[in-house]
Chains A and B, each alone.
Chain A
Amino acid sequence: MICKFEYHKLKRSHRPFYSMLSIILYLFFILFGFYTYAQTQTGGQVNFRYTFENRSYFNGLTFALYAFYFAVMMVLPIFAATEGGAQVAGETHNRTLYLMLARPLSRSQIFFSKLFVSFSYLFFLVGYLLAFALLTGLVFVGWGTLNLYPGVLQMSHVHQSLSQSEALNSFACAWVLASVALSAPLALSFLLSTWIRNPLNAVSTSIALYLILYVMSEIHFFVKLRPYFFTSYMGFWREAFREEILWGQIFQDGAKILAFTFVFLALAYRRFRLREEI
């Protein structure tokens, strides 16, 4: 019943609607970016369907991968932070948490039902973005072989060529793996929302903290600190886009991400269980 209630609250909050709308807008901008880039590169002598390099390199799958890459690293963590922050802190701020605590429900039930629904929602959003990106790629550009060249998006050190079906399998794996990667920023925002009682502050702090860690994990300057940031492992889903998937590497980095998630959640749970409602 409580999960159903959490799901119902989420549905009625309109957050899913606005998130889906934002994702459409984001994909539109990415598509527009590719289109204008292609035009600039070819001096306008281009039909978008046969784009600036050659179709075997740039196609709907490449577009979907680019869109997915930036989304997982920059856009979806913001959704994760918003969702996590809105949960405990939102209910505390609106005092609706009193309503739940005044019913025969344990704090564990409240905490884990919120977590379950938030994670499910995030999983859905990742899938939605991926499906929409693939569909957009198919409709506007067309699919084909997915070629990845060294350097671009740090996807691979050697050229990788995936057939259409292999690439689609990799996208399916990436959906699950990216959701696991996003569990860390979600858990971080849960932790902050159990400490900070104002949802706006909880969300903005989560976003700020994520961006700081992300930037630090990307800048070469902090190479020694990288292993201690969860953001350093968030791109582990990219390993799925290989001719021979390195599952060992995926499990290793996935385990690190899950360890961060576990620590954040354990701290959040402890705080939520012991805190007093002022």
Chain B
Amino acid sequence: MESTDILVTAKKIHHVYGKRQALAGVDFDIYKGEILALVGANGAGKSTLLKILAGFLRPTQGKITVFDCNPYSQREIVMRKVRFAFAPPPLYDNLTAWDNIQFLVRLGLPKQEHPSCEDMLKVLKLVGLRDRLDDRVSGFSFGMRQRLILAQALLPMPKLLVLDEPTDGLDPLAIRELRDLLCRLRDEHGVTILLSSHLLSEIEKIADRVLFIHEGKTIFYGEITKLMKKKSTLEIKIEGDTTSIAQMFPQMEIASSDTFLLPAETISLEEMRVKLQEYNIKLCEFHHRKISLEDAFLKELRAMSQKEKT
């Protein structure tokens, strides 16, 4: 990846609220055209990180640049390229959906850059609110508010789209539509997306890379495919004398009296068969167990807390 492809760089970001450390040295980059997922439990520091990215907060320590600008002191420049959809969706309840969108998408832009009414209608149709234009937002369900906040974030088309918990309150069909929409935005319009979500099954389907944070610290940052490969296991069932297995594979985990587990990348089926034959052990079953992103996250979390204990 070239340095020109980096839209956001965060180096050793710390943030302290009073005595509570919300972020403790988080590093990450966001590359052009990718979907980066930000994952963490409640109180992990995700919202603080997004607020720092939006220029609402100054990091206590560390440096963050968004399109080579400091988001706190150069927020107006940053906001010409970045759009945010916050959670829970803050909207003007007294205004209609149309009022909300028509004013918000034009704020701070010169007249010639104002999105047209057709564009606004198109986006509202895209999020399924075309028929609710004249309804006051106060009567909207949480899911409808989510759609509207997403709609306002799509106009004018941003270079970086930051979505905070966009799937909250959406029904399964809407989640699927959102997933398709985000993939289309990335693939067809080259929009880079930072997505904060709890729904790891969805992230697994659409994100390219993930940043796991826990209690303000990074526990994993990298490609999802690599993480899942790294955390996947080989489940091997054998017959014969199993005492020599531990010597052969020091990193193995015993699953039962005749089954053991190995990291997925350790060995191929053919190599395993040959190796076991040398010790007169019969290979009965050889399974490649894929791991879900959720399990990978939990494993990383456990590994981190064990590391901290030792």
Contact = CB atoms under 8 A, between A and B. Distances in A.
Interface of A: 1-2, 4-5, 8-9, 12-14, 94-96, 98-106, 109, 276-278
Contact of B90 (A1, A95, A103, A104): A95
B91 A104 contact: no
**A12, A99, A105, A106: which has the most chain B beta carbons within 10 Å?**
A99
18 contacts: A1-B107, A1-B109, A4-B103, A8-B99, A9-B94, A12-B94, A96-B91, A96-B92, A98-B86, A99-B91, A101-B75, A102-B82, A102-B83, A103-B108, A104-B79, A106-B75, A276-B57, A277-B56
Contacts of B77: 104
**A12, A104, A276: which has the most chain B beta carbons within 10 Å?**
A104
Contacts of B95: 8-9, 12
A1 B106 contact: yes
Contact of B103 (A5, A94, A102, A109): A5
Given A13-B94, A96-B92, A101 B109 contact: no
Given A9-B95, A95-B86, A102 B54 contact: yes
B58 interface: yes
A95 B91 CA distance: 8
B237 interface: no
B31 interface: no
Given A95-B90, A96-B90, A277-B51, 20 more contacts: A9-B95, A12-B92, A12-B94, A12-B95, A95-B86, A98-B54, A99-B90, A99-B91, A99-B92, A99-B104, A99-B152, A101-B79, A102-B54, A102-B84, A103-B79, A105-B76, A106-B75, A106-B76, A277-B57, A278-B57
Contacts of A13: 94
Nearest to A14: B94
Contacts of B93: 94
B80 interface: yes
B40 interface: no
**B54, B83, B90: which has the most chain A beta carbons within 10 Å?**
B90
A276 B79 contact: no
B164 to A, nearest CB: 10
Main secondary structure of the interface of B (DSSP, over half): loop
A277 B95 CA distance: 24
B166 interface: no
Contacts of B103: 1, 4-5, 8
A98 B56 contact: yes
A5 B56 CA distance: 22
A276 B58 CA distance: 7
A144 B55 CA distance: 61
B244 to A, nearest CB: 60
Contacts of B75: 101, 106
Contacts of B86: 95, 98-99, 102
Contacts of B82: 102
Contacts of A2: 107-108
A276 B107 contact: no
Nearest to A107: B75
A103 B56 contact: no
Interface string B88-130: 0011111100010001101111000000000000000000000
Contacts of B90: 94-96, 98-99
Contact of B107 (A9, A12, A103): A103
A105 B55 CA distance: 12
Contact of B54 (A5, A101, A106): A101
Contacts of A106: 75-76
Contacts of B17: 278
Sorted nearest first, the 4 A-B pairs with minimum C-beta distance are A104-B108, A95-B90, A277-B56, A105-B108
A98 B84 CA distance: 9
Contacts of B51: 277
A105 B106 CA distance: 10
Contacts of A100: 107
Interface string B22-59: 00000000000000000000000000000100111110
A101 B55 contact: yes
Contact of B104 (A95, A103, A276): A103
A72 B53 CA distance: 46
Nearest to B152: A99
Nearest to A106: B76
Nearest to A15: B94
A100 B79 CA distance: 10
Nearest to B99: A8
A277 B72 CA distance: 11
B135 to A, nearest CB: 13
Contacts of B109: 1, 104
Given A9-B94, A98-B86, A277-B51, A105 B107 contact: yes
Contact of B56 (A12, A14, A276): A276
Contacts of A1: 103, 106-109
A78 to B, nearest CB: 22
